[in-house]
């Protein structure tokens, strides 16, 4: 069964809107695990507009499922990940002013840079995943870096799902098949939701993990966090 990692960035966004510690990011992570989440994902950005670097340090002390730290690997990020030593680090090529992730790595152009990063993190026993578009060439480029896994950037799938879900998923199936052929582990994330998750999980071979934040937290406003997590888990089990 594909594992569900809950991204709690939006909880931090809500907290930061008023200051203080309500909602409590650490408590929400613990509750998400208690409600069935099989991992916790955070994406600290340089301006700390949602998850703060101090949050990451606090979460490391309490998270008992898989802890996944994703982000643009600048020097501060690298230092944080090496200090925390999560189970997984996901390398994402975010621009400093990006509202959210909007593209995968060009693993051909940035092969040397990514290879160096992969080596840094693997030397500390951290599993590495590289964020890529659903492009077989980018999957092959990721393999050349020595990464353990890739994470497919799924916003294009989500955008086109309602119009033609078969066409929307086709490049992701090809990319997943290429990953399997090359022996790469496969994760996915970005704009996966209760509407499109089941179809994606049913058609993507070798899907190990999905990381879901925005849609899941938005759904929790209506359904409650515990019920929402269970709903997402049922989509993955169907």
Active site residues: 43, 70, 190
d(CA 105, CA 72): 10
CB-based contacts of 210, cutoff 8 Å, min separation 6: 2, 3, 4, 5, 187, 188, 189, 192, 197, 200, 201, 236
Distance CA 108, CA 52 (A): 31
**Cα 129 to Cα 142: distance, rounded to the nearest angstrom:** 9
Spatial separation of the C-alpha atoms in residues 48 and 225, rounded to whole Å: 24
Residue 152 CA to residue 18 CA, distance in Å, equals 34
């Amino acid at each position: 069964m594909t594992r569900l990692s809950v991204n709690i960035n939006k909880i931090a966004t809500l907290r930061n809107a008023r200051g203080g510690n309500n909602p409590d990011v650490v408590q929400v992570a613990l509750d998400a695990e208690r409600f069935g989440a099989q991992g916790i994902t955070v994406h600290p950005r340089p301006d700390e507009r949602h998850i703060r670097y101090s949050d990451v340090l606090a979460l490391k002390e309490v998270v008992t499922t898989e802890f996944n730290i994703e982000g643009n690997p600048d020097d501060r990020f690298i230092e944080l990940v090496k200090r925390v030593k999560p189970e997984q680090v996901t390398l994402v090529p975010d621009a400093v002013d990006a509202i959210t992730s909007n593209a995968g790595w060009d693993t051909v152009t940035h092969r040397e840079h990514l290879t160096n990063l992969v080596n840094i993190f693997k030397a500390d026993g951290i599993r590495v995943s590289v964020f890529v578009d659903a492009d077989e060439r980018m999957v092959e480029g990721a393999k050349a870096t020595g990464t353990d896994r890739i994470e497919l950037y799924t916003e294009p799938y989500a955008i086109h799902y309602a119009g033609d879900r078969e066409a929307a998923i086709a490049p992701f199936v090809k990319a997943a098949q290429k990953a399997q052929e090359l022996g790469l582990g496969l994760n996915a994330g970005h704009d996966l939701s209760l509407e499109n998750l089941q179809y994606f999980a049913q058609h993507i071979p070798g899907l190990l993990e999905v990381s879901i934040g925005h849609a899941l937290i938005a759904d929790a406003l209506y359904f409650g966090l515990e019920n929402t997590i269970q709903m997402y888990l049922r989509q993955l089990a169907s």
